Structure 1
Amino acid sequence: MVSLFRRIGSGSDANPIGIEMAGTEPIPGDRRHGRPRTLFTLWFGANIQFATLSVGALSTSVFGLDLIPAACAIALGTLFSATLVGLFSTRGARIGIGQLIQSRGPFGWFGNLPSAIFTVLNGVGWCVVDSLLGIFILRSLLDIGFTTAVAIVAGAQLIVPLIGYRLIHSMEKFLSGVLVIAFAVVSVLAFGKMGSSAAVDSTPGGLTAFVLTLSVTSARALGWSAYSSDYSRYLPADTPPARTFLAAAGGSAVAGIWIGVLGAALGTVGKITEPTSLISHLVPGMTAKLILVTLLASTLASTVLDLYSGSMAALVAGVRVPRWLSVIGVCGVSTVLTLWVGEHGFAGHFQDFLLLTSYWVAPWAAVNLVAFWWRERGRNPRIGELYDTGHRFGWGLPATLVGVIASVPFMTQSLYTGPVAAKFPALGACGQLIGFTAAGLTYLGLTARKAAPAPMLAVDAE
């Protein structure tokens, strides 16, 4: 049994029972292993899931968009977020460091703290969303109470991120194969029942619905960009960046587009009352139960990443505990919030959550894109600077705040509607794009005279 745990752990980074012990420090060259193709199955498994299906269904069942324009919006939004996941994944393999540690370069040690805290909240929030999806399925299968279902789901999703990196990759590879079969069956069954028009004559409809679908679709996977390097940092430093990019972006894009469009097709059948109705009204009897069991497993494919990277972000934010203990803490907070949120108003709260997270992640991603691929221009960061508390603030934080502020007039959700969104609904869903553009241009301007960084220090050194 001990040898089994050693195999599923992370080599010399694991303790005798296989739990990964590496935290936010650089991964030395002699501990780097794996091939970029593992990123394809990881991001494919993370995106071929019930949440992706539910987001796609919003387009036709809630926003009132017809199937063809819904499919186009889903494809565009997915490709945008998948590109960011692929680009940031190349950074992990290149320097062996997690995503949020890297962002200390443009943000500084203290300037990076808001991003780290937000990433913890993002991980917790997504864990709540996916847990609720799993709970809906579990209750429909077993007819058990809500609290009991929460306890079962929380226990199931804790084990894999507790063990760590290597088991996560192994689990996602296994689930990818299983979920392809399940969703292929759903796709075949849906083909004969789906329509080309929206299920309901719904507001907003038209151009507003198209832009809103594009926004929530990209927002669904945009949060992954803050995690990307966490799952490529163990790859050897000489891994070709193009292969890393294609594997990570390809897995995310293929699964995201397929399952998102499938959700939109299912949404043409009828209005969503709760997520399990996507399957129950399509597949009768025992077949539906088997598919729901598989979809229950798909929620774990997402929550394990949220718990793992949420716990890593907590360490970056200054929580001084071992990585595995941070996982338990993040899972505990997520479980409490899941109990609090309950079963009420899923579709509306889901839409709000997707948009709210994108208002920060989009500007943050733009700053890092400019910093990594324009200002550095192929050169690696000074690793020591990323761990130097004397490097307190960079221009990344003010640029991100400018992006957030610029998106405020375009915000559109139940908590707040900006003046532009109120007057021109079609522009209201452009908030994340406005924030992304404003933050990137602001950082570009603020760092116009900054000299290119010196070459990277060796990560194999202690």
Structure 2
Amino acid sequence: MAESLVERRSIDVVPDAERHGTAFSQFTLWLGANLQITAVVTGALAVVFGGDVVWSIVGLVLGNVLGGAVMALHSAQGPKLGLPQMIHSRAQFGVRGAVVPLLLVILMYVGFFASGSVLAGQATAELTHTDDTTGIVLFAAVTAVTAAVGYRVIHALGRVASVICALAFIYLGVRLLDRVDLSSLLSDAHFDLPMFLLAVSLSASWQLAFGPYVADYSRYLPRTTSGRATFWWTLSGSALGAQWSMTFGVLVAASAGGAFMSNQVEYVVGLGGTGLIASFLYFVIALGKLTINVLNTYGGFMSMVTSVSGFRGQKTLSPRGRAAYIALIMIAGTTVALLGKDSFLTSFKDFLLFLLTFFTPWSAINLVDYYLISKERYDIPALSDPHGRYGAWRWDALTVYGIGLLAQLPFLVTHFYTGPLVDSLGGADISWIVGLAVPALLYWGVARRNTAHIPEQTLYGVEEPGSEPVQEPVSGRP
């Protein structure tokens, strides 16, 4: 049992004999990962920073659908290639050049681990009758152990969380509607473009930030799994879960004001009741955060291995090495959580929007290359060879990535930096739209001029006992 439960694979391609599951597994995983307290806080921020209920909800819907669609396009790559998401980036940036976006991805994982641990630590502290610091540390330890077991337990956790958290959110929604005058909240609608775009940016950044690791959790699906099915189940689970949580957050923030801002976890639990119900809700909050924090830890260790292996030529990872990488992510994330737990709301909003600046250009380049330039055809063994067809550094993609970053700065709005063109747009942040469009167009224009490195069909190089390396032609796209 232990051999089948504990994952052996890391950055290496998953052979056909080890593929399992259906595309529906993406729905339960991403629904469970989004029905959680940090998504509630993300939705609340749209109101806390000045938006009304109606247009905040509409903006969050738009951002979840648009950002979720981009994220789900990455998910559809998993069954086809059988690789973690960021290994695939070597085809665009080079075997070593991929370390540039990878370093930022690792920062993202640490940041999300930290922000999640702040809220989950509060719930864990209540369950264990300790303080917040102890709760954060305990939660981090459970997260690390779960991530070390790997893929199967992560999906099992997603299935459990999707059911339990959905039931809890239904209950909390009923309790909230008993307390608030919904018609009054909905009648106070006043469209404000900057606030509307803030709501769109908050939810879009939430979804786009999953892009660098979403294929990590679809790569074990059989290679024959429909790309369309993977896309739609991922999008529906992630967008539905996030919008559900964020709408709840909007209504809570609009009705509770300072009571919610002062202690998000305590207010949500108090909304549900006391005694055993309160204990159950603290457990639900910790469970929801465990689901997503395990994804962050697992993705973080994958990205660290990918970064190091690009220079060391490493193709596999020992169990001891796996544990060491996971421990590094846990220690870094816990340290940030303990240092930043007293200024959570403002820091988290800036963190989300700042992340978006770095990941939209990467996402645009990766998707244009996969669907329009290479058309799903890759030489997977060459992704580990800096002297192979993809080279060590692909300066055309790295240059486009840098231009994509710089193009966003005039339109960026954060607490510590505001771009020079923001005032002329009424304070609206459209940097993420620029960050998708500019590098997508530039990379398409540059990359289609030189396609000599693209194989005629995908080369897997996976050897099973008594068989030849697998080669498979292009399959349909979502």
Same fold (TM over 0.5): yes
Partner residue in 2 for 1:458 = 460
- Amino acid in structure 1 at the alignment position of 2:29: L
**Secondary structure in 2 aligned to 1:54?**
helix
Quickly say closer, same or farther: Cα 1:383–1:141, change in 2 above 3 A: closer
Q: Contact 1:37 / 1:247 at 8 angstroms: preserved in 2?
A: yes
Q: Contact 1:120 / 1:313 at 8 angstroms: preserved in 2?
A: yes
Over residues 426-448 of structure 1, what are the superposed CA-to-partner deviations in whole Å (9 max), with x where a residue is unaligned? 33x11111111111111112223
Over residues 33-75 of structure 1, what are the superposed CA-to-partner deviations in whole Å (9 max), with x where a residue is unaligned? 2211111111111111111111111112x12222111111111
Over residues 189-219 of structure 1, what are the superposed CA-to-partner deviations in whole Å (9 max), with x where a residue is unaligned? 12233446779x9xx9821111011101111
> Is 1:274 paired with 2:260?
no
Q: Contact 2:118 / 2:338 at 8 angstroms: preserved in 1?
A: no
For 1:241 and 1:134, locate their aligned partners in 2 and report how far apart those are by CA, in whole Å: 34
Partner residue in 1 for 2:466 = none
> Is 1:296 paired with 2:286?
yes
Give 1:57-206 correspondences, 5 Å limit.
57-60=44-47, 62-140=48-126, 144-194=130-180, 195=182, 206=192
Aligned counterpart for 2:24 among listed residues 13, 32, 37 = 37
For 1:25 and 1:406, locate their aligned partners in 2 and report how far apart those are by CA, in whole Å: 35
Q: Contact 1:162 / 1:328 at 8 angstroms: preserved in 2?
A: no
Q: Contact 2:121 / 2:137 at 8 angstroms: preserved in 1?
A: no
Aligned counterpart for 1:6 among listed residues 3, 6, 15 = 3
For 1:308 and 1:179, locate their aligned partners in 2 and report how far apart those are by CA, in whole Å: 21
Partner residue in 2 for 1:443 = 443
- Amino acid in structure 2 at the alignment position of 1:451: T
**Secondary structure in 1 aligned to 2:264?**
coil
Quickly say closer, same or farther: Cα 1:198–1:325, change in 2 above 3 A: farther
Quickly say closer, same or farther: Cα 1:206–1:140, change in 2 above 3 A: farther
**Secondary structure in 1 aligned to 2:417?**
coil
**Secondary structure in 1 aligned to 2:449?**
coil
For 1:150 and 1:281, locate their aligned partners in 2 and report how far apart those are by CA, in whole Å: 21
- Amino acid in structure 1 at the alignment position of 2:91: G
Unaligned regions of 5+ residues in structure 2, if any? 464-468, 470-478
Partner residue in 2 for 1:392 = 392
Over residues 277-318 of structure 1, what are the superposed CA-to-partner deviations in whole Å (9 max), with x where a residue is unaligned? 541563342334422321121110110000000000000110
Give 1:258-337 correspondences, 5 Å limit.
258-271=244-257, 272-280=261-269, 282-286=271-275, 287-318=277-308, 322-337=321-336
For 2:71 and 2:203, locate their aligned partners in 1 and report how far apart those are by CA, in whole Å: 14
Measured on the aligned residues, the alpha-carbon RMSD in Å equals 2.1
**Secondary structure in 1 aligned to 2:103?**
helix
Give 1:222-233 correspondences, 5 Å limit.
222-233=208-219
Q: Contact 2:94 / 2:392 at 8 angstroms: preserved in 1?
A: yes
Q: Contact 1:161 / 1:327 at 8 angstroms: preserved in 2?
A: yes
For 2:420 and 2:279, locate their aligned partners in 1 and report how far apart those are by CA, in whole Å: 46
Quickly say closer, same or farther: Cα 1:26–1:141, change in 2 above 3 A: closer
For 1:178 and 1:222, locate their aligned partners in 2 and report how far apart those are by CA, in whole Å: 25
Over residues 76-132 of structure 1, what are the superposed CA-to-partner deviations in whole Å (9 max), with x where a residue is unaligned? 111122212221111110011110011111111122101111111111110001000
Give 1:44-63 correspondences, 5 Å limit.
44-60=31-47, 62-63=48-49
Q: Contact 2:75 / 2:218 at 8 angstroms: preserved in 1?
A: yes
Quickly say closer, same or farther: Cα 1:275–1:425, change in 2 above 3 A: farther
For 1:198 and 1:59, locate their aligned partners in 2 and report how far apart those are by CA, in whole Å: 14
Q: Contact 1:279 / 1:292 at 8 angstroms: preserved in 2?
A: no
Partner residue in 2 for 1:234 = 220
For 1:122 and 1:114, locate their aligned partners in 2 and report how far apart those are by CA, in whole Å: 13
- Amino acid in structure 2 at the alignment position of 1:382: D
Q: Contact 1:136 / 1:275 at 8 angstroms: preserved in 2?
A: no
Offset of residue 141 of structure 1: 5.2
Give 1:240-259 correspondences, 5 Å limit.
240-259=226-245
For 2:103 and 2:31, locate their aligned partners in 1 and report how far apart those are by CA, in whole Å: 27
Q: TM-score, normalised to structure 2's length?
A: 0.88
- Amino acid in structure 1 at the alignment position of 2:419: G
Q: TM-score, normalised to structure 1's length?
A: 0.91
Count of residues paired in the alignment: 442
For 1:277 and 1:210, locate their aligned partners in 2 and report how far apart those are by CA, in whole Å: 28
Offset of residue 222 of structure 1: 1.2
**Secondary structure in 1 aligned to 2:209?**
helix
Q: Contact 2:117 / 2:337 at 8 angstroms: preserved in 1?
A: yes
Partner residue in 2 for 1:15 = none
Offset of residue 424 of structure 1: 3.5
Q: Contact 2:124 / 2:136 at 8 angstroms: preserved in 1?
A: no
Partner residue in 2 for 1:357 = 355
- Amino acid in structure 2 at the alignment position of 1:92: G
For 1:24 and 1:208, locate their aligned partners in 2 and report how far apart those are by CA, in whole Å: 41
